[in-house]
Amino acid sequence: MKLFNRILISIILTVFTTSFSYSQHLIDEVSAIVGDETVFLSDVENMVMQQAAMGDNRPVKKIRCEVFEDLLIQLLFLDQARIDSIEISNDQINRMLDERLNDFVMRAGSEENLERYFKKSMVEIRRDLRPMMENQQLASQVQNNLARDITITPKEVQAFYHSVPQDSLPLMPAKAELSLIQIDPPGLEESKLRTRQQLLDLRKRILEGESFRALAVLYSEDEQSAAKGGEIGFQIRGNLDKAYADEAFSLKKNQVSKVVESEFGFHIIELIERRGDMINTRHILIKPKVTPQQSVEAKNKLDSIANLIRTDSLTFEEAAYRFSTHKDSRINGGKYVSFETRERLLEIDKLPREMYMVIRDLNLNEISDGFKMKDRKGNTVFRIIRLDKQTKAHEANLKDDYSFIQQLALSNKQAGVYQDWIIKKMENTYIDISDKFRTCNFKNEGWLK
């Protein structure tokens, strides 16, 4: 699966990182036929150029043969998808296209920059990307069908672990399980009122003729967009905070919104342009300010809570439920999980710096003093932390890392199923390789018939 994903990602990247003029001037020819699918020489050469651009310094012939075989494997999956009559809905493809194009536009800075760089219109870029996205989904569906009923037993996990050479076992980073209690700054409503008024004043200045762009540069606390006059680029609704999206999608072109409160702070928004399900907006973001007095009060409150727990007047779990404003952990007794992976055992080196600096000095089951930090949305919060469990950096083993090794074993078993399927599929599929590639030393036998 990793191999096939790498193939597709490389193809997609090639479209957006390689000069299109090369393919346009290349005299194209068929390099292989797999079932009803075709590999063109331009497909191979573009991927070779992409590999070289990514720093692959191996001989070009070796890269070319490897890329060519990757494409052949890709076409086996695509051919099977056609045979199985797998279909991907237009809505699903359009949604994926919107997300991918939005990512490219954000990286380029604007649609104009993207069009200028590739010397293509957004319509043309979308047209070129669409079949690749469709092929990716078709092939993924074939893989999902193959892997659907694959399971792994504890005995197989143990066998896999013992089959891996000791010096090849991955090094597991130091990890920790944490519980936390979080409170927001006291008097936050007053800070919010001041912030709202500040944005109302800016909105009035804009409606009276001042430049939204200029005021965004001067006042917005979203540093990334402020440098571009508040413009955040084309986004689909799902990529935006709900409150922000609801207001932004209700605006007319060049209309300025009312003050909007999101999880990131307070905004005023201007709609620049709407294209189908995507909109381009600019905004000014201002966050409520925390005064030194609020910080002192928050830390004192947290220290009082910590002392109640330390003296057994209150359990940590009860305190989290009664006082914590951290939504994800509050109902679970304060147990902290990664927002991205939803795992409890967290890599210490990847924790926010403020949390890392606190837990590095804690003993097991010890509760920290109150401290201030920014949450993942950039808002100021105050927390105490309890260190529930800690593991040191070590080589992966069955006792401490069973879930990790289980997933490795399952992936290895799936890879074996895919490989067996590829070999059988090669035997039963019409394959014709051009003379240019018949001297390649392929990893899989059976391509040359």
Residues 181 and 318 in one domain: yes
In this model, does residue 42 exceed pLDDT 60? yes
- Answer yes or no: do 180 and 238 share one domain: no
Same domain for 139 and 210: no
* Confidence label for 64 from pLDDT (cuts 50, 70 and 90): very high
Structure tokens at 362: 């804690």
Residue 133's domain spans which residues? 2-151+411-437
The CA-based diameter of the chain, rounded to the nearest angstrom, is: 81
Residue 166 lies in a domain: no
Q: CATH no. for residue 372?
A: 3.10.50.40
Residues 27 and 120 in one domain: yes
Q: What is the predicted pLDDT for the residue at 8?
A: 42
Query: pLDDT per residue over 387-446, tens digit each?
Result: 999 999 999 999 989 999 999 999 999 999 999 999 999 999 999 999 999 999 999 888
Among the candidates 286, 314, 337, a domain finishes at 286
Q: Note whether 180 and 321 are same-domain residues.
A: yes
d(CA 53, CA 267): 41
Q: What is the pLDDT of residue 43?
A: 82
| Same domain as 223, residue 78 | no
Looking at the structure, tell me whether residues 7 and 146 fall in a common domain.
yes
- Taking only the tens place, the pLDDT of each residue in 73-108 is 989 999 999 999 998 888 888 888 887 787 777 777
CATH number at residue 419: 1.10.4030.10
Q: For residues 229 and 376, state if they share a domain.
A: no
**pTM reported for the whole predicted model:** 0.66
Same domain, 204 and 73: no
H helix runs in 220-348, sequence order: 223-226, 242-248, 292-310, 316-323, 327-330
Q: Angle at CA 301, nearest 5°, toward 294 and 360?
A: 95
Task: State the pLDDT at residue 256.
Answer: 97
Residues 63 and 146 in one domain: yes
Task: Tell which of 240, 256, 286 closes a domain.
Answer: 286
Judge whether 418 and 408 are in contact, CB under 8 Å: no
Total number of domains in the chain: 3
